[in-house]
Amino acid sequence: MVLTSAQLRAAALGTLAAQPSLQAALDRMGFLQADPIRAPARAQDLALMQRVSGYRAGDLERLYPALDAEEDMLPNYGFVPRRVQALLHPRRVGALKIETQAPGLLAEVLAFVEAHPSAEVHPREVQAAFGPVRVGNAWGGQSSASTRALDGLHYQGLLRISRRISGVRLYSPAPHLAELRAAPPQTESERARAVVRLLAQLYGPLPQASLSYLLSLSGYGLPHLRSELRAALKSALDEELSSASIDGLKYVWLAGTDLEACVPSGVRMVGPFDPLVWDRRRFAHLHGWIYKLEAYTPPAKRVLGYYALPLFWNERAVGWANLKVEQGELKSELHFVSGVRQTAALKRGVAAELERYESFLQL
């Protein structure tokens, strides 16, 4: 099959297709990456505002208890419908670090949550019950041992996130995951194949090497299915994925995907974790410049800015924006790549997108 870069760019924009509701967007995506940085809003909110008309920052957190949604780990930490969570559990994991740092604490914290009168606990309640002991975390710092225990129990599928308060996760028992441990509805190979299809649909069309990388990251969500994921990718390449090479780079996508879609129009400013820009390899190949998240880069070494949002005009990424809220007003710094003509149409599109962000942020 002969494909052009323009077709791939247009097909990639298909991930931003408008959805009738927040639940419909979660169902279509299958996985929504989360991140705590708020600049000007959290990653999950930035992704949803691009897909759900009238979405406001914080709607996911506010509506979460009534949604078919769970917080869990796939290639990264995020939100999934329960049908996708059923692919991740039962999750068989080895000994967690917290088990050696604080022997017996996991069982004690689990019993505390299960016996709690409200059926959900705030991490502060657990810390008050078990003390302020701190242990090393995965980022080289120190965290409360009880909070690490809650995280470990959630990862094992023994607890779930019931809701959040101002971004803080509350924990409760997870009977639906206990049912999966008792009788998983699918075999391990079926679960692995479903994960390959989900990632190929959400992030595709994408370079085959990038899909392989996504599946290697998914070893965090499916630590006991690493070999099954590799076998599922090999099988999918033979049976379920179409492919073509452009400029020597092999792209893959789910067979049956419409790559002849109309070229989208207008301006979009998307978050750095959005499926549209998550794969930096694809971004550089299709748009001709390097985009990266510099939130963890020393300020003096930043090129794009702390939390640059790629700016799309029609199907091309033509620059980036740094947005922040100051004294109730949205402030924007816009930058365009070399050669982009700032036409009247582009300026109108930028103004409309910034107005949409003001509504999204309820300014």
Q: pLDDT value at position 136?
A: 57
Backbone angles phi, psi at 236, to 5 degrees: -65, -40
pLDDT in tens, the chain (363 residues): 678 899 999 999 989 999 999 999 999 999 999 999 999 999 999 999 999 999 999 999 999 999 999 999 999 999 999 999 999 999 988 888 888 888 899 999 999 999 998 889 999 999 999 887 666 555 455 568 888 999 999 999 999 999 999 889 999 999 999 999 888 889 999 999 999 999 999 999 999 999 999 999 999 999 999 999 999 999 999 999 999 999 999 999 999 888 876 667 799 999 999 999 999 999 999 999 999 999 999 999 999 999 999 999 999 999 999 999 999 999 999 999 999 999 999 999 999 999 999 999 999
Q: pLDDT value at position 146?
A: 87
Backbone angles phi, psi at 293, to 5 degrees: -80, 125
Residues 6+ apart with CB under 8 A from 222: 87, 88, 91, 191, 192, 195, 228, 229
**This prediction's pTM:** 0.94
CA 41 remoteness from chain centre: 14
Q: pLDDT value at position 100?
A: 83
Residues 6+ apart with CB under 8 A from 124: none
Residues 6+ apart with CB under 8 A from 14: 258, 261
Tell me 261's DSSP state: P
Q: Is residue 89 helix, strand or coil? A: coil
- The residue among 81, 6, 12 whose CA lies nearest residue 275 is 12
Which secondary structure element, helix H or strand E, spans residue 334, and what is its range?
strand 329-336
Alpha helices in the chain (DSSP H): 5-12, 22-29, 43-49, 59-63, 82-88, 97-101, 105-114, 123-130, 145-156, 175-182, 188-203, 208-217, 226-239, 280-287, 344-360
DSSP-assigned beta bridge partners for residue 207: 251
Tell me 354's DSSP state: H
